[in-house]
Amino acid sequence: ILENTFNKIQSVWNFEKTWGWDFPMLAMTAARLNRPDEAIDLLLHENFGFDQHGLAYSMKGPFPYFPANGGLLTAVAMMAGAWDGAENVNAPGFPANGKWKIKYENFNRMP
């Protein structure tokens, strides 16, 4: 169900009009589906922007939009520290292509 829903969202959502915590939520979903490259792409999407102070902004929503900031931090923490059912490898939510060197400490697995 999760993968079918994620695939449907990817095919029908208009990402030019998507903003806020949608991107971290989808990134966490991609990570759980063992699709870390897509998780990174979602977190770096051009519509998921931050100003010079690190506050999430969007031309289509309220500014600053703190749930987007919290979503980014949560997504990165989950991708690094893992989640229940994740492989027991370092930073399972990040691509294992040798380009990422993830260091973290004392993160609890997310449910």
C-alpha to C-alpha distance for 81 and 107, rounded to whole angstroms: 5
If you average pLDDT over residues 37-65, what whole number do you get? 85
pLDDT at 60 exceeding the cut of 70? no
pLDDT at 71 exceeding the cut of 70? yes
Question: By C-alpha distance, which of 44, 50, 46, 45 is closest to 64?
Answer: 50
Q: Which two tokens stand for residue 10?
A: 């990817």
What's the predicted TM-score (pTM) here?
Answer: 0.92
C-alpha to C-alpha distance for 85 and 20, rounded to whole angstroms: 27
pLDDT at 61 exceeding the cut of 80? no
C-alpha torsion angle, residues 59, 76, 22, 49 (rounded to 10): 10
Q: What angle do CA 48, 53, 56 make, to 5 degrees?
A: 25
Question: Please, is 2 exposed, middle or buried when counting C-beta atoms within 10 Å of its C-beta (0-12, 13-18, 19+)?
Answer: exposed
If you average pLDDT over residues 82-108, what whole number do you get? 95
